[in-house]
Amino acid sequence: MSNDNSGSVLWAFIVVVFCIFCTFRGCMATPDDAKYHLEAMGLSEVSIKSHHWVFVVFRGCGSDAAMFKTSARNVKGEVVRLNVCTGWPFKGTTIRGR
């Protein structure tokens, strides 16, 4: 009788890959998405200040994968600071005021 653990090793590998994907998927989100959505909302002079993808759930982005801290100019000409939360690959973008 042989003890074949290849099925268990395969499942362990799949679980590890899935955990890594869920942890690091935010690094796949691009600043271009954040900039595009801000410009679509009528903002100009969009500047991406930082890109966060670790523990964004504790930074106010809920179940999103990444957060971009941005500044832009609104239609009144005022500079506004916004957080753009985005999911990757299947969720859209949420724009939040700071």
Residue 92 belongs to some domain of the structure: yes
More confident residue, 91 or 35: 35
Which runs of consecutive H residues, i.e. helices, occur in 1-98? 6-24, 31-40
Residue 38 belongs to some domain of the structure: yes
Range of the domain at 67: 25-97
Residue 93 belongs to some domain of the structure: yes
Residue 11 belongs to some domain of the structure: no
Q: What is the pLDDT of residues 22-79, one digit of tens each?
A: 667 777 788 898 999 999 999 999 999 999 888 887 888 888 888 999 999 999 999 9
Based on the structure, what is the number of domains in the chain? 1
Which one-letter amino acid corresponds to residue 34? A
Residue 1 belongs to some domain of the structure: no
Structure tokens given for 76: 């009144």
CB 72 within 8 A of CB 79: yes
Per-residue model confidence (pLDDT) at position 33: 87
Q: Is residue 1 very low, low, confident or very high in pLDDT (cuts 50, 70, 90)? A: very low
Q: For the whole model, what pTM was predicted?
A: 0.73
Residue 44 belongs to some domain of the structure: yes
Closest to 53 (Cα-Cα) out of 87, 83, 26, 22: 26
Residue 4 belongs to some domain of the structure: no
Partnered with residue 95 across adjacent β-strands are 84
